[in-house]
Chains A and B, each alone.
Chain A
Amino acid sequence: MAIDDIYTQGIAAGWSVRDASTLSADAVLETEVAIVGSGAGGGMAAEILTAAGLNVLMIEEGALYTAADFKDMDEWRGFSTLYQEGAGRMTADGAVYVFQGRAVGGSTTVNWTTSLRTPDPTLEHWAQAYALRDSTPADLAPWFARCEERLGIAPWAMEPNRNNALLRDGCARLGWSWKTIPRNVRGCWNLGYCGLGCPTNAKQSMLVTTIPQALRRGMTLLHHARAEALHFSANGVAALTVRALGKDARTPTGVTLTVKARHYVLAAGAINTPALLLRSRAPDPRGLIGRRTCIHPVNASLALFDEPVHGFHGAPQSIYSDHFLWPAQGLGYKLEVPPLQPVLMSGIFGSHGERLSLDMRQLDHAQVCIALMRDGFDAATSGGRVRIDAQGQPLLDYPLTEALWDGLRRAYLSMAEVQFAAGARSVRPVHLDGHDYRSWDEARRAIAFLPMRAQRATLYTAHLMGGCPMGEDKTRCVIDSRGRHHEIENLSIFDGSMFPTSIGANPQLSIYAFVARNATALADSLTPRRSASTDTAGVSAARHDAGGHRHAEA
Chain B
Amino acid sequence: MTPPAAIAGFDRRAFLKLGVAGTWTLVACSTAATLAGCSTAAPPASGYRWLSTEDLALFSALLPAVNGPAWPDETSIRDEALRRIDAALAALAPQAQEQTRQLLDLLHWPVFRHLACGLSAPWSRAPAEDIARFLQRWRDSRLELFNAGYRGLAKLAQLGWWSQRASWDACRYPGPPAWAVAALNG
Contact = CB atoms under 8 A, between A and B. Distances in A.
Interface in A308-365: 312-313, 341-343, 345-347, 352-358, 360-361, 363-364
B119 interface: no
Interface in B151-181: 151-152, 154-155, 157-159, 161-165, 167-168, 170-173, 175-177, 180-181
B9 interface: no
Interface stretch (B11-19, B33-41, B88-96, B109-117): B88-96
A389 to B, nearest CB: 5
Nearest to B68: A357
Contact of B181 (A73, A347, A354, A393): A73
Given A71-B184, A86-B88, A455 B144 contact: yes
B31 interface: no
Interface string B88-109: 1111111110010000000000
Given A73-B181, A75-B163, A360-B171, A86 B68 contact: no
Interface stretch (A11-19, A87-95, A262-270, A472-480): A87-95
Contacts of A95: 148
B172 A394 contact: no
Nearest to B139: A432
Given A1-B183, A86-B92, A453-B144, A357 B155 contact: no
Given A353-B66, A360-B162, A360-B171, A73 B176 contact: yes
A200 interface: yes
B70 A191 contact: no
A313 B88 contact: no
A255 interface: no
A1 B91 contact: no
Interface in A52-88: 71-76, 79-80, 85-86, 88
Contacts of A250: 90-91
B84 A76 contact: yes
A346 B84 CA distance: 16
Contacts of A343: 158-159, 162-163
- Which of A74, A79, A94, A432 is most buried by chain B, counting CB atoms within 10 A of its CB? A94
Given A342-B162, A342-B168, A347-B155, A88 B92 contact: yes
A189 interface: yes
B129 to A, nearest CB: 10
A389 B87 CA distance: 22
Interface of A: 1-3, 71-76, 79-80, 85-86, 88-90, 92, 94-95, 189, 191, 193, 199-200, 250, 312-313, 341-343, 345-347, 352-358, 360-361, 363-364, 389, 391, 393-395, 432, 453-456
